[in-house]
Amino acid sequence: MSQVHIGPITGGSLTSVPGFKAAGVACGLKPAGALDLALISTAQPCVAAAVFTTNAFKAAPVLYDQALLAHPEARISSVIINSGCANACTGEEGLQDTRATAQAVAQALGIKADQVAVMSTGVIGMRLPMAKIFTGIEKASQTLSSSTEAGHAAARAIMTTDTHPKEFAVRVQAGSWQCTIAGMAKGAGMIHPNMATMLCVLATDAALTPQVANQALREAVEESFHRITVDGDTSTNDTVLLMANGLSESKAITSLKSPEYGYFLQGLKRVATELAKAIVRDGEGATHFVEITVQGARTPAEAKQVGMSVARSPLVKTAIYGEDANWGRIICAVGYSGVPIEPEKVRLWLGDLELVRGGKPYHIDEERASQLLSQRDISIIIDLGMGQASTTVWTCDLSHEYVNINAHYRT
Amino acid sequence: MSQVHIGPITGGSLTSVPGFKAAGVACGLKPAGALDLALISTAQPCVAAAVFTTNAFKAAPVLYDQALLAHPEARISSVIINSGCANACTGEEGLQDTRATAQAVAQALGIKADQVAVMSTGVIGMRLPMAKIFTGIEKASQTLSSSTEAGHAAARAIMTTDTHPKEFAVRVQAGSWQCTIAGMAKGAGMIHPNMATMLCVLATDAALTPQVANQALREAVEESFHRITVDGDTSTNDTVLLMANGLSESKAITSLKSPEYGYFLQGLKRVATELAKAIVRDGEGATHFVEITVQGARTPAEAKQVGMSVARSPLVKTAIYGEDANWGRIICAVGYSGVPIEPEKVRLWLGDLELVRGGKPYHIDEERASQLLSQRDISIIIDLGMGQASTTVWTCDLSHEYVNINAHYRT
């Protein structure tokens, strides 16, 4: 097994992956001519895999894509994404709108409708304004380009309350084996694992089998998008889609046990994790980015459960917003996580400052704590003292601005 | 079985129950001479029952009371409650402080230490300042009184971020059978079932067996304190204690099947529900009180699960703060509750205004919705269309003031 090198591509986008073209256009779903329709396309029918929201109210495009990808021979070559309207809670009419969207893309690009995936994000319960969508598809298909700028425009077109686009691309090299992996995502609010108002498209030129694509995506999502929370709400529209066009001349990955699977997975995890962290960093109203590492757990699942319990606590999140070293709230959230813990074994660090040892306050240096909490990035380490398992999750603080954004989102 | 009449006692307090005395004094735990130590006492050793926090980090007084009440012959005649310091995460020293507190009360009142329950609420991880506690106990034991004012002072002394004391008292009458039931509670933040930074003392003159007291308390808590949420955090200190001094001359309740058990339970539920609702109404920063009724569920447990999912959604709570009829967020929270639902059967009302039918928007009257949302009290009804079970839960909105309060609680 060769040493693998994951090299980030500065300023990269989905179009950094050979064969992938993109477009981001304005079709009038958002006010003031903002970009609101993204099209991603490659000439090669791609092996694809996806992870969808667990919400029982699944938006029309989620139901549509689920059915599409359930087919064992599914090959996707394009994905069309609109912001501004979620096409959720829109019944049979909403499904018809999604179908018509896919058909319009297929027609514009001269491909089959079952090669087109559809995603939507925005307000729930509103029908898609189809005339605008059709005009937008026309425009997008004409401006498809492999330029980095086109990739950036697509990333911008899928934003809702995001303050900036989220993109990441890497080149994976291990000996003579290589591939490119890139992704774009949108997030902001309603971010919680399984998953969130979160859309993500991942693209690669690696040649994968459907089984490999599926397994790699599941593993990568588990360590990235399923370990972040902004506010604990899981949306109706979440989708992470992986498309592999196979253009790379390196050896195809056909086995989960091959060294190449390991190389690819490492690259995919890196892209997914960077995008997941970017979503949290840009969480609605966030003023702090918080990394929570739980170690000394009996199992990785218990480590994650404790971490997510802390990550979603409104009291922890408001304390961090207030830059208050209120470790008691962190300990409290550890305590109600549902994981059986032994309080007298628990240790807690803020950065390198040990605040709790043996379940009790330990040499609290308030001045140093305040200094650590004044940083934008905050690290919390919790040691349960019960085993060897560990995991890391990410969250942001809960600010006045979060309330501002969400009190009047529709209006 | 007679008709039962539950008559609220206007301006009532714990001292409305025959035999119960109370005191609320200032001992210097809170700044500016605010009341911070409450003592409740009755000459009769009481049959007692309690429900405690499920948090793994249990505060010292919780561990102490749990051990005390685990004894089958436990009889409590006094409870001492301090605010300002939670005595949580204080290790063996914290337990010693709780023991010393109980002993000091016993000495001052000439009773045995195992007749004294202890509760604490406030900041986590700080030792109790015992000199102040001892002085306070001395003062409280000297001012114990059966006056209503004394009851009110006790209710005020247990407040933390509460803006006003919470008390409720009823007289229960069924034919010639009667009793009095009263309670006081504190809440405000960290309120979530199983339970919250929530302390509650319930007192009655009914004569109960320990089994009857236990069962009645569990049933009443399930329909009251376990159906409210402010922010989803479950504290280290929550305790609901029921004391029955048996002074009533009406027939003792010795069987769960007796008509008297039904009368008593109805009264206890009323007191517990009024206190639970008062806690939500006074939730930190709350500007709206929200009653969520879920009907058409297959089981009461599923109805509760759906209701609590909506009740704790930050997106629903901020929308209500913004008085925005964002029914999509309510539907979304129904969808991720974990209860298997059929979206096309779901109906949703805001007050008497039907917003969703068949899982889709139904005749949305934005003007009327805005008017309903401008009221302080808001009613949401969700019909799952799957069965006959229903339940009601209560929550409040998430406001700027919630963030203000919690960003700087310690400082």
pLDDT band at A194 (very low <50, low <70, confident <90, very high): very low
Between CA B158 and CA B160 the distance in angstroms is 7
Smallest CA-to-CA distance from B192 within B399, B54, B288 is with B54
The strand pair at A289-297 and A389-396 is best described as: antiparallel
Percent of chain A whose predicted confidence (pLDDT) is above 90: 75
Which chain A residues have a beta carbon less than 8 Å from that of B360? Answer: 89-91, 125
Which chain A residues have a beta carbon less than 8 Å from that of B89? Answer: 328, 331, 343, 356, 359-361
Closest partner CB to A403 (pick from B312, B318, B327): B318
pLDDT band at A195 (very low <50, low <70, confident <90, very high): very low
Q: A271-310 burial, b for 16+ CB within 10 Å, e for fewer?
A: bbbbbbbbbbbbbbbbbbbbbbbbbbbeebebbbbbbbbb
A343 touches chain B (CB under 8 A): yes
B89 touches chain A (CB under 8 A): yes
Which chain A residues have a beta carbon less than 8 Å from that of B84? Answer: none
Which chain A residues have a beta carbon less than 8 Å from that of B409? Answer: 319, 322, 324, 326
Instruction: Inspect the interface and report whether the beta carbons of B406 and A232 lie closer than 8 Å.
Output: no
A334 touches chain B (CB under 8 A): yes
Among residues B197, B204, B273, B391, the one annotated as catalytic is: B197
SS (H, E, C) chain A: CCCEEEEECCCCCHHHCCCEEEEEECCCCCHHHCCCEEEEEEEEEEEEEEEECCCCCCCHHHHHHHHHHHCCCCCEEEEEEEEEECCCCCHHHHHHHHHHHHHHHHHHHCCCHHHEEEEEEEECCCCCCHHHHHHHHHHHHHHCECCHHHHHHHHHHCCCCCCCCEEEEEEEEECCEEEEEEEEEECCCCECCCCECCEEEEEECCCECHHHHHHHHHHHHHCCHHHEECCCCCCCCCEEEEEECCCCCCCCECCCCCHHHHHHHHHHHHHHHHHHHHHHHCCCCCCCEEEEEEEEECCHHHHHHHHHHHHCCHHHHHHHHCCCCCHHHHHHHHHCCCCCCCHHHCEEEECCEEEEECCEECCCCHHHHHHHHCCCEEEEEEECCCCCEEEEEEEECCCHHHHHHHHCCCC
Chain segment A331-351, per-residue pLDDT in tens: 989 998 999 999 999 999 999
Tell me: ipTM over 0.85: no
Instruction: Inspect the interface and report whether the beta carbons of A57 and B359 lie closer than 8 Å.
Output: yes
B410 touches chain A (CB under 8 A): yes
Interface of A with B in 149-168 (CB under 8 A): none
Query: How close is the nearest chain B Cα to the Cα of A356, in Å?
Result: 9
pLDDT tens string, chain B, 411 residues long: the values are 679 999 999 999 999 999 999 999 999 998 889 999 999 999 999 999 999 988 888 999 999 999 999 998 999 999 999 999 999 989 999 999 999 999 999 999 999 999 999 999 988 888 999 999 999 999 999 999 999 999 999 999 999 888 899 999 999 999 999 999 999 999 866 544 333 478 999 999 999 999 999 999 999 999 999 998 776 667 788 899 999 999 999 999 999 999 999 999 999 999 999 999 999 998 878 899 999 999 999 999 999 999 999 998 888 988 899 888 888 889 989 998 999 999 999 999 999 999 999 988 887 788 899 999 999 999 999 999 999 999 999 999 988 887 887 776 554
B95 touches chain A (CB under 8 A): no
B411 touches chain A (CB under 8 A): yes
Between CA B114 and CA B382 the distance in angstroms is 48
B363 touches chain A (CB under 8 A): no
Mutation to test the B interface, candidates A305, A315, A367, A398, most B Cβ within 10 Å: A315
**Searching chain A, which residue's CA lies closest to the CA of residue B319?**
A407
Domains observed in chain A:
4-279 (3.60.70.12), 289-407 (3.10.20.340)
pLDDT at A193: 38
Query: How close is the nearest chain B Cα to the Cα of A56, in Å?
Result: 4
B148 touches chain A (CB under 8 A): no
**Searching chain A, which residue's CA lies closest to the CA of residue B58?**
A335
Chain segment A376-395, per-residue pLDDT in tens: 999 999 999 999 999 999 99
Instruction: Inspect the interface and report whether the beta carbons of A324 and B409 lie closer than 8 Å.
Output: yes
pLDDT (average), residues A177-192: 83
Instruction: Inspect the interface and report whether the beta carbons of B406 and A361 lie closer than 8 Å.
Output: no
A402 touches chain B (CB under 8 A): yes
pLDDT at A187: 85
Mutation to test the A interface, candidates B310, B318, B350, B367, most A Cβ within 10 Å: B318
Instruction: Inspect the interface and report whether the beta carbons of A322 and B125 lie closer than 8 Å.
Output: no
**Residue A338, CA distances (Å) to A197, A304, A309, B169 in order:** 26, 11, 9, 35
Closest partner CB to B89 (pick from A124, A331, A406): A331
Closest partner CB to A321 (pick from B54, B57, B403): B403
pLDDT band at A232 (very low <50, low <70, confident <90, very high): low
B367 touches chain A (CB under 8 A): no
Is residue A1 predicted with pLDDT exceeding 90? no
pLDDT (average), residues A233-262: 93
pLDDT at B409: 58
**Searching chain B, which residue's CA lies closest to the CA of residue A314?**
B231
**Annotated catalytic sites of A, by residue?**
197
**Searching chain B, which residue's CA lies closest to the CA of residue A317?**
B407
pLDDT at A409: 57
